[in-house]
Chain A
Amino acid sequence: MDAERGLMAKVARGDQAAFAELAQRYSGKLMAVAGRLLGSRADAEDAVQRAFIHCFAGAGTYDARWAVSTWLYRILTNVCVDELRRRATRSAHDEHSAGALAAASSNHHPPTAYLDLHRALERVPREARVLLALRYVDGLSYGELARIRGISINTVKSQLARGKSLLRAELGKRGADHV
């Protein structure tokens, strides 16, 4: 943990090698969260790159009381949530975007076994979906999730429980026997 904080201190001083190491260490997990939230690999890569740019530019404001992973997840979820907002306004206001959106989501083919889950997750409210992704990609604790999204631990718990119960109901409707 302290080694990572040391790495962040180097990044704050503009050390490119330290930045590359940080990116190397976290890009897999960040890609997984972004990929699951945004659907397409291209959008996920874009989001992760933007998150790293913010991380590099904002390294000076990094506070060592934060675990580096928590800090990075905060930055990444901020980027992803804004991307989700943009999609929502686009589809609500512009009929041309319907085709574009369909094209974007068709770029991503989740394994067939997960198709039901993938569709069911789309029905889960955004905030709960973000928490589910963070929880299941990296096994983050309630405390970490609360810090990443700036909410109370009780809200984390109730959001996760609500998300999962919606998933159960959706998967049940689809006749999946996973639940």
Chain B
Amino acid sequence: MLASNQGHNNMPHQDQSCLSIDAFSLAYAGKQALHELTLEIPRHRVTAFIGPSGCGKSTLLRAINRLHDLNDETSHQGRIMVEGIDIHSPDIDVSELRRRIGMVFQTPNPFPMSIYENVAFGLRLQGRTAKRKRDDIIEWALTSAALWDEVKDRLHQSAWQLSGGQQQRLVIARTLAVQPEILLLDEPASALDPVSTLKIEELICNLKSQLTLVLVTHNMQQAARVSDFTAFLSQGELIEYGPTDQLFTNPRLRHTENYITGRIN
């Protein structure tokens, strides 16, 4: 289903779409940050958002998790649908929504507690789980995040003692533990060294079979390496969205071309 070299019309179909963004606009303190974005994000694929700083890629990602709710001064139009449900509809439980849509941030942010407790955090929020079952889930989450072997002997040490790359994988494990359907990654490797970055990228590719991933990155090579679809945003607008293979060999628009090849626009 990925790019053949001829067609431009191999975009995800409606029925493969897990997350659909429909004419979504967002204003922050009266300033328009996103302009009527429309795109379908396919299930069990990695979709990357790229674009220059301040283009709104992170804002869009945070909007999917309704993190902009935390601010009184934002307003939005249009819809974001997760599996056909409008996330802004009034009877949506935001906590439940955020459990279904995990998010990983730029700087690793483990909580000031042990490795075990970090991964158990989301489970504890949901209520009591039998210790046996919780242990199983934690082992599974840490294994999925390719961290289990490195930390299994020190689960009860502070998470802040881990290296940056390990911390970021711990954060991913923490998110996986509540079994989200979508994982949003906001420049997850930009604070890490090259080897840790590769580990995170490998992890992203492996997680694809379990959930849908959306990645914001300013590293174009990273987007090219790990994503199946790429959206290029600029100044709050969606410029081009297509299969990564096509976008990085033969983009349709000059604007995209200039950005990904490092030309003066």
Q: Indicate whether A and B interact.
A: no
Binding site for A on B (CB under 8 A): none
